[in-house]
Protein backbone atom coordinates (compact mmCIF):
# COMPACT_ATOMS: atom_id res chain seq x y z
CA UNK A 1 0.00 0.00 0.00
CA UNK A 2 2.46 2.59 -1.18
CA UNK A 3 0.04 4.62 -3.26
CA UNK A 4 -0.55 7.37 -0.76
CA UNK A 5 3.14 7.92 -0.16
CA UNK A 6 3.67 7.98 -3.90
CA UNK A 7 1.00 10.56 -4.27
CA UNK A 8 2.55 12.64 -1.56
CA UNK A 9 5.96 12.23 -3.16
CA UNK A 10 4.56 13.40 -6.47
CA UNK A 11 3.21 16.48 -4.79
CA UNK A 12 6.50 17.29 -3.15
CA UNK A 13 8.54 16.64 -6.25
CA UNK A 14 6.32 19.01 -8.16
CA UNK A 15 7.41 21.80 -5.87
CA UNK A 16 10.74 23.51 -6.21
CA UNK A 17 10.87 23.82 -2.44
CA UNK A 18 8.55 21.50 -0.51
CA UNK A 19 6.84 23.68 2.01
CA UNK A 20 4.64 22.67 4.91
CA UNK A 21 2.60 24.77 7.26
CA UNK A 22 0.59 24.31 10.46
CA UNK A 23 2.63 21.28 11.47
CA UNK A 24 2.04 19.41 14.69
CA UNK A 25 3.75 16.26 15.82
CA UNK A 26 2.05 14.44 18.66
CA UNK A 27 3.06 11.41 20.66
CA UNK A 28 0.94 9.53 23.15
CA UNK A 29 2.57 7.38 25.78
CA UNK A 30 0.54 5.03 27.92
CA UNK A 31 1.31 4.50 31.57
CA UNK A 32 0.18 2.22 34.33
CA UNK A 33 -3.06 2.90 36.22
CA UNK A 34 -4.58 4.68 33.25
CA UNK A 35 -2.02 7.41 32.86
CA UNK A 36 -1.75 9.00 29.42
CA UNK A 37 1.01 11.37 28.39
CA UNK A 38 0.70 13.59 25.35
CA UNK A 39 3.67 15.44 23.95
CA UNK A 40 3.58 17.93 21.12
CA UNK A 41 5.82 20.06 18.96
CA UNK A 42 5.23 22.23 15.92
CA UNK A 43 8.87 21.82 14.91
CA UNK A 44 8.51 19.57 11.87
CA UNK A 45 10.49 20.09 8.69
CA UNK A 46 10.46 18.36 5.32
CA UNK A 47 13.27 18.02 2.82
CA UNK A 48 13.77 15.90 -0.23
CA UNK A 49 16.80 14.31 -1.75
CA UNK A 50 16.02 12.81 -5.09
CA UNK A 51 12.89 10.79 -4.47
CA UNK A 52 13.51 10.44 -0.79
CA UNK A 53 11.37 12.47 1.58
CA UNK A 54 12.77 13.18 5.00
CA UNK A 55 10.68 14.54 7.84
CA UNK A 56 12.65 15.86 10.81
CA UNK A 57 11.59 16.75 14.33
CA UNK A 58 13.71 18.68 16.81
CA UNK A 59 13.14 16.54 19.88
CA UNK A 60 14.13 19.23 22.38
CA UNK A 61 11.01 21.13 21.40
CA UNK A 62 8.62 18.37 22.51
CA UNK A 63 6.43 19.47 25.39
CA UNK A 64 4.09 17.38 27.54
CA UNK A 65 2.68 20.21 29.64
CA UNK A 66 4.76 19.42 32.73
CA UNK A 67 8.26 20.87 32.74
CA UNK A 68 9.80 18.27 35.01
CA UNK A 69 8.41 15.48 32.85
CA UNK A 70 9.81 17.24 29.76
CA UNK A 71 13.22 17.35 31.38
CA UNK A 72 13.10 13.66 32.25
CA UNK A 73 12.01 12.87 28.69
CA UNK A 74 14.73 14.96 27.09
CA UNK A 75 17.59 13.99 29.39
CA UNK A 76 16.86 10.43 30.42
CA UNK A 77 14.86 8.88 27.59
CA UNK A 78 15.58 10.68 24.33
CA UNK A 79 19.03 12.00 25.34
CA UNK A 80 18.54 14.98 23.09
CA UNK A 81 22.02 16.35 23.74
CA UNK A 82 23.41 13.35 21.85
CA UNK A 83 20.46 12.70 19.54
CA UNK A 84 18.67 15.98 18.93
CA UNK A 85 16.70 15.03 15.82
CA UNK A 86 14.31 12.25 14.89
CA UNK A 87 13.83 11.60 11.18
CA UNK A 88 11.34 9.66 9.15
CA UNK A 89 12.50 8.76 5.64
CA UNK A 90 10.10 7.65 2.97
CA UNK A 91 12.18 6.06 0.21
CA UNK A 92 11.40 5.16 -3.38
CA UNK A 93 7.66 4.71 -3.23
CA UNK A 94 6.33 3.14 -6.42
CA UNK A 95 4.70 5.72 -8.67
CA UNK A 96 0.99 5.11 -8.32
CA UNK A 97 -1.43 7.95 -8.01
CA UNK A 98 -5.00 8.54 -7.07
CA UNK A 99 -5.17 7.26 -3.52
CA UNK A 100 -5.83 9.49 -0.54
CA UNK A 101 -5.16 7.02 2.23
CA UNK A 102 -2.87 4.09 2.74
CA UNK A 103 0.15 2.64 4.46
CA UNK A 104 3.79 2.82 3.53
CA UNK A 105 7.04 1.49 4.90
CA UNK A 106 9.42 4.17 6.17
CA UNK A 107 12.65 4.35 8.15
CA UNK A 108 12.51 5.97 11.55
CA UNK A 109 15.72 7.17 13.15
CA UNK A 110 15.59 8.02 16.83
CA UNK A 111 18.24 7.88 19.53
CA UNK A 112 20.82 7.12 16.86
CA UNK A 113 19.15 3.94 15.68
CA UNK A 114 17.15 3.27 12.54
CA UNK A 115 14.28 0.82 12.24
CA UNK A 116 11.53 0.32 9.67
CA UNK A 117 8.02 1.40 10.61
CA UNK A 118 4.68 1.13 8.87
CA UNK A 119 3.17 4.57 8.49
CA UNK A 120 -0.51 5.18 7.81
CA UNK A 121 -1.31 8.26 5.72
CA UNK A 122 -4.39 10.29 5.03
CA UNK A 123 -4.32 13.12 2.53
CA UNK A 124 -7.13 15.58 1.86
CA UNK A 125 -7.14 18.28 -0.79
CA UNK A 126 -7.84 21.65 0.79
CA UNK A 127 -6.04 24.63 -0.77
CA UNK A 128 -2.98 22.40 -0.95
CA UNK A 129 -3.10 19.18 0.99
CA UNK A 130 -3.83 18.30 4.61
CA UNK A 131 -1.72 15.34 5.58
CA UNK A 132 -1.99 13.09 8.62
CA UNK A 133 0.50 10.33 9.29
CA UNK A 134 0.52 7.90 12.19
CA UNK A 135 2.70 5.05 13.36
CA UNK A 136 3.58 3.13 16.49
CA UNK A 137 7.13 2.72 17.73
CA UNK A 138 8.68 0.74 20.56
CA UNK A 139 11.26 2.55 22.67
CA UNK A 140 13.20 -0.68 23.19
CA UNK A 141 13.81 -1.03 19.46
CA UNK A 142 15.76 2.22 19.57
CA UNK A 143 17.86 1.50 22.62
CA UNK A 144 15.69 3.51 25.01
CA UNK A 145 14.26 2.41 28.31
CA UNK A 146 10.61 3.02 29.12
CA UNK A 147 10.70 5.38 32.09
CA UNK A 148 9.45 4.63 35.58
CA UNK A 149 8.83 7.42 38.07
CA UNK A 150 7.93 6.78 41.69
CA UNK A 151 6.21 3.52 40.90
CA UNK A 152 4.35 4.64 37.80
CA UNK A 153 5.55 2.92 34.64
CA UNK A 154 5.32 4.12 31.08
CA UNK A 155 4.79 1.43 28.49
CA UNK A 156 7.43 1.21 25.73
CA UNK A 157 4.92 1.36 22.87
CA UNK A 158 4.44 4.95 21.77
CA UNK A 159 1.85 6.23 19.29
CA UNK A 160 3.09 9.02 17.05
CA UNK A 161 1.15 11.19 14.65
CA UNK A 162 1.97 14.18 12.48
CA UNK A 163 -0.47 16.66 11.00
CA UNK A 164 0.58 19.30 8.52
CA UNK A 165 -0.56 21.21 5.50
CA UNK A 166 1.44 20.77 2.32
CA UNK A 167 1.26 23.95 0.37
CA UNK A 168 0.34 23.68 -3.28
CA UNK A 169 3.30 24.08 -5.66
Partner 1 sequence: MVRHGYTTCATCHVDPSGSGVLTPYGRAQGEILLQSRYSGKPGEEASPAANFLWNALRTPDWLLGGGEVRYLALRMKLGDGPTAGDLILMQGDLAAAVHAGGFRASGSLGYISTTGSPAAVGGQVVSREHWAGWAFDEGELLVRAGRMNVPFGIRSIEHTLFVRQATRSDLNDTQQHGVAVSYSAELIRGELMAIAGNFQIRNDANRQRGYSGYVELAPVTRFAIGVSSLVTHAAEDVRLRVANTRQAHGAFVRASPWRPLVLLGEADYVIQSPSGAPSQKGLATMLQADYEPWQGLHLIATGETLDVAGAGISYGGWLSAAWFFAPHLDIRADFMNRSEVIGATRYAVLAYMAQGHLYF
d(CA 158, CA 156): 6
| Site for partner 1 contains 152 (CB under 8 A) | yes
Binding to partner 1 by CB under 8 A, coded x per residue (else -) over 12-31, reads ------------------xx
Residue 43's DSSP bridge partners are none
Residue-wise burial string across 74-94, b where 16 or more C-beta atoms lie within 10 A, e elsewhere: beebbebeebeebbbebbebe
- For residue 145, the SS3 value is coil
Backbone angles phi, psi at 58, to 5 degrees: -80, 105
Nearest to 30 by CA among 154, 135, 141, 124: 154
- Please pick, from the candidates 125, 149, 168, 169, the single residue that binds partner 1 as defined by CB under 8 A: 149
Taking CB under 8 A as the criterion, which residues in 103-132 touch partner 1?
none
| Site for partner 1 contains 153 (CB under 8 A) | yes
Q: Least distance in Å: CB of 33 to partner 1? A: 4
Q: Least distance in Å: CB of 40 to partner 1? A: 10
Taking CB under 8 A as the criterion, which residues in 35-94 touch partner 1?
35-38, 64-68, 70-71
Nearer to partner 1, 30 or 48 (CB): 30
Q: Least distance in Å: CB of 119 to partner 1? A: 23
Number of residues assigned to the chain = 169
Nearer to partner 1, 65 or 112 (CB): 65
Amino acid sequence: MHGCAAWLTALVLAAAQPKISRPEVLFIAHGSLGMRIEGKTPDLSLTRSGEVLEFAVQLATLQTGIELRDRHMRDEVLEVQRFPVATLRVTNPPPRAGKTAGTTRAELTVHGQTRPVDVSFQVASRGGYDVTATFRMDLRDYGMNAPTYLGIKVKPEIDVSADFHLDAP
